[in-house]
Amino acid sequence: MTADNNTHSKLIGYILWIFGFMGAHRFYFGLSISGTIYFFTLGLLLIGWIIDLFLIPGMDREADLKYAMGEKNYTISWVLLTFLGIFGIHRFYLGKWITGFIWLFTGGLFLLGWLYDLWTLNEQVDEVNRSKG
């Protein structure tokens, strides 16, 4: 990746940090395992949540190095997943029409698909961006 690769937004990371005791910012930066741990432990009893306030710039840097820029925007994908994910709108955005329709008619495949996407959305966007780049 080049030095100017900017796949994720630090500002969005800080906004999500407000809900970080649920792991939101960690999921956004591609840290699914620790995001899940934060979800079940209230941000490691709020202590990890407070520490993360200072770790977000590093999380942003790591995400920028790990994921490819391209046609699809990570932040838009996350907004679509967060607010319209059970309707599959993020999947339509990524060009995944068949699963988009499945999500649309099954409530995000009965929410299990939505949870799967919460874990894998960064990788899905990365795959689309690399295949078109």
In the block, which residue shows the tokens 């008619």?
Answer: 105
Q: Which of 33, 29, 112 is nearest to 74 (CA)?
A: 29
Contact yes or no for 43/59 (Cβ under 8 A) = no
The whole-number pLDDT of residue 3 equals 54
Contact yes or no for 20/49 (Cβ under 8 A) = yes
The whole-number pLDDT of residue 44 equals 92
Of the chain, the percentage scoring pLDDT greater than 70 comes to 97
Residue 30 has pLDDT above 70, yes or no: yes
The whole-number pLDDT of residue 31 equals 97
Contact yes or no for 43/27 (Cβ under 8 A) = no
With 0.75 as the threshold, say if the pTM is over it: yes
- For residue range 57-72, what is the model confidence (pLDDT) as tens digits? 999 999 999 999 999 9
Residue 20 has pLDDT above 90, yes or no: no
Report how far residue 126's alpha carbon sits from residue 56's, in angstroms, rounded to the nearest whole number.
20
